[in-house]
């Protein structure tokens, strides 16, 4: 079996197990566990807290003491136990702590999996720039197929989704032991703890434009968390309306949401063109405008005669997500000093998936509770508020962020 195929399998399982529950958990918690918005937001926000420290902490362990593939395997085995535990309980406190522990196991495996692939491919004289995108795309395929699987079997409100995810994570944990060895690297063991936690990159906040960029990255992370947490409960809110009974969007919401992931693959390919020709400022503004459309179209849409609005909302998600997440990562790579680029990337991830995800989960939960009266949630107003906030972000970023685009600098990274 070729190295590329082995890592394609790894990435497929990595995101298949996540796709089996990430989008649908909100609907399950809302409709089956009957959690309040703040409680659901706290569970999703926990992923943000974990992203602040666990990837760096696990990175230290893998760099200093234990083979990376073994750490990766053990984390997934632990994650499988927590997901199985979620499938066995409806107690609110138990679900919260099991999901928190699962986040502690799962979130570090994303960057650790990338590191393993990069290390092995480079060791075998293979070009990461050419090979890894072909490998990573299978993660998106896995995420999409998991959503389809759960949706076609109508498992969005069933505990079986967690058993499926647990089985996939158990399989990945066992499979990881067969990956090529990635022992601790001596040249990395002398890095300071501050470097490993990305604290060196905090110096970038002394540069006003970089500080503005990181702050708005966190705000976009909040928008992403709002979308991930509440999109599926929104669609399930139409279940009780006889006007929409039997419609495709109500029966198979996961399939509808998978259009968002499919659109990602298209917009990923468009990033080099937009960055070269328009620069990071316009690309980020495009992302913010796409979030306005994402939420605004949700406010207009329904599974019946308004399903077209929902479909367009799914399709613009690729622009909303990729044009700040991947383009932002590339911007950091271009503008951070070489000796702190790794730390700067860690800081960017922490702002989006840590700070942004935490406050996005907490604030969105508060908004849901505030707009829910007698168990009826005013989704129209909620999505209009989110669209208005995204529009305010776009206008503010356009006025505050002063960055002169240099196509020559961009060409070094996008060709």
Exposure string of 199-225, with b = 16+ CB inside 10 Å and e = fewer, is: bbbeebeeeeebebbbbbbbbbbbbbb
Q: Do domains 1-178 and 200-415 have the same CATH topology?
A: yes
Q: What is the pLDDT of residues 321-371, one digit of tens each?
A: 888 877 777 777 677 776 666 567 667 778 888 888 889 888 988 999 999
pLDDT tens sequence across 130-180: 676 678 778 888 998 998 999 888 898 899 999 999 999 999 999 999 998
CA angle 231, 237, 241 (to 5 degrees): 145
Q: Rg of the Cα trace of the chain?
A: 21
Burial class (CB in 10 A: 0-12, 13-18, 19+), 197: buried
CATH architecture designation of domain 1-178: Up-down Bundle (1.20)
What is the mean predicted confidence (pLDDT) over 92-98? 91
Is the model more confident about 44 or about 200? 44
- Nearest to 46, CA basis, from 4, 98, 87: 98
Comparison of pLDDT for 56 and 227, the residue scoring more:
227
HEC secondary structure over 173-209: HHHHCCCCCCCCCHHHCCCCHHHHCCHHHHHHHHCHH
Which residues are CB-neighbours of 84 under 8 A, at least 6 positions away?
162, 163, 166
Beta carbons within 8 Å of 266's beta carbon, 6+ residues apart:
318
CA-closest candidate to residue 314, choices 248, 244, 392, 404: 248
The CA–CA distances, whole Å, from 283 to 217, 265, 289, 321 equal 13, 17, 10, 11
Whether 25 and 146 have beta carbons less than 8 Å apart is answered as: no
Token pair belonging to 88: 């066995």
Closest residue by Cα to residue 413 from 359, 365, 341: 341
Q: Which pLDDT band, with edges at 50, 70 and 90, does 240 fall under?
A: confident
- CATH code given to domain 200-415: 1.20.1250.20
Average pLDDT, stretch 250-275? 82
For residue 398, the SS3 value is helix
pLDDT band at 83 (very low <50, low <70, confident <90, very high): very high
Taking the C-alpha atoms of residue 344 and residue 347, their distance in angstroms, rounded to an integer, is 5
Mean predicted confidence (pLDDT) in 1-12: 88
295 vs 30 pLDDT, higher one: 295
Q: pLDDT-derived band of residue 191, with 50, 70 and 90 as boundaries?
A: low
> Where are the domains positioned within the chain?
1-178, 200-415
* pLDDT band at residue 94 under the 50/70/90 scheme: very high
- Cβ proximity of 361 and 225 under 8 Å: yes
């Amino acid at each position: 079996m070729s190295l590329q195929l082995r890592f394609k399998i790894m990435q497929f399982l990595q995101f298949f197990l996540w796709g089996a529950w990430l989008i649908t958990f909100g609907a399950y918690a809302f409709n089956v566990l009957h959690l309040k918005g703040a409680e659901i937001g706290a569970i999703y926000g926990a992923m943000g807290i974990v992203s602040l420290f666990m990837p760096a902490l696990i990175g230290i362990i893998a760099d200093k003491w234990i083979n990376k593939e073994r750490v990766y395997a053990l984390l997934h085995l632990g994650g499988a136990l927590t997901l199985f535990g979620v499938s066995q309980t409806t107690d609110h406190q138990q679900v919260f702590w099991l999901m928190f522990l699962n986040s502690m196991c799962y979130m570090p495996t994303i960057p650790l999996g990338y590191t393993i692939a990069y290390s092995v491919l480079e060791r075998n004289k293979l070009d990461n720039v050419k090979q890894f995108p072909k490998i990573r795309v299978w993660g998106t395929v896995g995420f999409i197929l998991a959503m389809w699987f759960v949706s076609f079997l109508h498992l969005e409100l069933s505990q079986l989704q967690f058993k499926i995810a647990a089985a996939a994570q158990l399989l990945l944990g066992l499979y990881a032991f067969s990956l090529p060895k990635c022992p601790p690297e001596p040249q990395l063991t002398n890095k300071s703890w501050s470097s490993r936690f990305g604290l060196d990159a905090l110096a970038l906040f002394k540069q006003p434009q970089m500080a503005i960029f990181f702050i708005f990255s966190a705000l976009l992370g909040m928008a992403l968390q709002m979308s991930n947490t509440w999109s599926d409960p929104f669609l399930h809110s139409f279940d009780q309306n006889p006007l929409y009974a039997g419609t495709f969007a109500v029966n198979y919401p996961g399939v509808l949401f998978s259009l968002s992931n499919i659109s990602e693959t298209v917009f990923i390919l468009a990033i080099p063109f937009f960055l070269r020709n328009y620069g990071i400022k316009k690309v980020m503004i495009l992302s913010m405008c796409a979030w306005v459309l994402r939420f605004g179209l949700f406010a207009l849409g329904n599974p019946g005669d308004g399903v077209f609005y929902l479909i367009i909302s799914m399709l613009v998600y690729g622009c909303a997500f990729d044009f700040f997440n991947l383009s932002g990562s590339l911007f950091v790579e271009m503008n951070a000093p070489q000796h702190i680029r790794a730390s700067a990337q860690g800081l960017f991830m922490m702002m989006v998936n840590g700070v942004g995800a935490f406050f996005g989960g907490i604030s969105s939960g508060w908004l849901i509770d505030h707009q829910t009266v007698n168990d009826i949630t005013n989704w129209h107003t909620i999505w209009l508020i989110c669209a208005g906030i995204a529009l305010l972000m776009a206008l503010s970023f356009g006025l505050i962020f002063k960055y002169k685009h240099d196509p020559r600098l961009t060409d070094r990274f996008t060709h």
